[in-house]
Structures are given as structure tokens and as C-alpha cells.
Amino acid sequence: MKSTTTSIGLGVLGIVFLIVAVLYALGLLQFLASTSGPHYKHAILFTVLAVASFVAANFARPKGTIYVTDRPGR
């Protein structure tokens, strides 16, 4: 499922996750949190989700015509 649109979508999702992580870390977001104040556990989770989204975006990015079987190390 390689396409520029998917890649951009996943990149944008990653940025959203990063913003949510910062908001949780600063205690500005309390959604689904049991106490008030900063939520570092939630912030770490959303940072991981952001990293996963950026990785997925890079995987979804079309990389031109490369024949994997011809690459060294295969």
C-alpha cells in the first residue's frame, strides 16, 4: 500500500500524536486520565505512537522502481 497520500496522512497523524504527547506532558490534556496534572505515561505512549506513525509513513512512501531481489545482501 505505497502511495504519497498514505505517507503524508501517516506523517500528519504522527505530528498530531506528538502534539497530544506534549499536551499530556504539560498537563493541559486530561482526556481519559484518572488524576489531574501532567500525565507522563500518556505522553510516552503518544510519543511512541508518533514514532510508529513516522516509521509507517516512511514505509508507505513510494521509492521508485527498485528490484529488491537485485539489491546487495539478498
Partner 1 sequence: MGVLQGATELFPVSSLGHAVLIPSLLHWSFKQSDPSFLPFLVLLHLGTATALLILYRHEWLAIIRGFFVAAVRGQIQNDTERLAMLLLVGTIPAAVLGVFLETRIRTLFASPYEAAGLLVMNGVLMLGFEVLRRRAERRGAADGSSHAEQEERFAQAERISFRAAALVGACQALAFLPGISRSGVTIGGGLLAGLRHQEAARFSFLLATPVILGAGVVEVPQLFSSGVPVGEYAAGAVLSGIAAYASARFLLRYFRSGRLDPYGIYCIAAGLISLALLHFSL
Task: Work out whether 74 is an interface residue with partner 1 (CB under 8 A).
Answer: yes
Task: Work out whether 34 is an interface residue with partner 1 (CB under 8 A).
Answer: yes
- Per the structure block, which three cell numbers stand in for 43? 505522553
- What does DSSP assign to residue 68? G
CB of 57 to partner 1, least distance (A): 9
- Look-up of cell digits 521508485: 64
Task: Work out whether 4 is an interface residue with partner 1 (CB under 8 A).
Answer: no
CB of 27 to partner 1, least distance (A): 15
Which residues are CB-contacts of 74 (< 8 A; sequence separation ≥ 6)?
Answer: 68
Q: Are 7 and 57 in contact (CB under 8 A)?
A: yes
The residues that touch partner 1, with contacts defined as CB under 8 A, are: 32, 34, 40-42, 44-45, 48-49, 52, 54-55, 58-59, 61, 63, 68, 71, 73-74
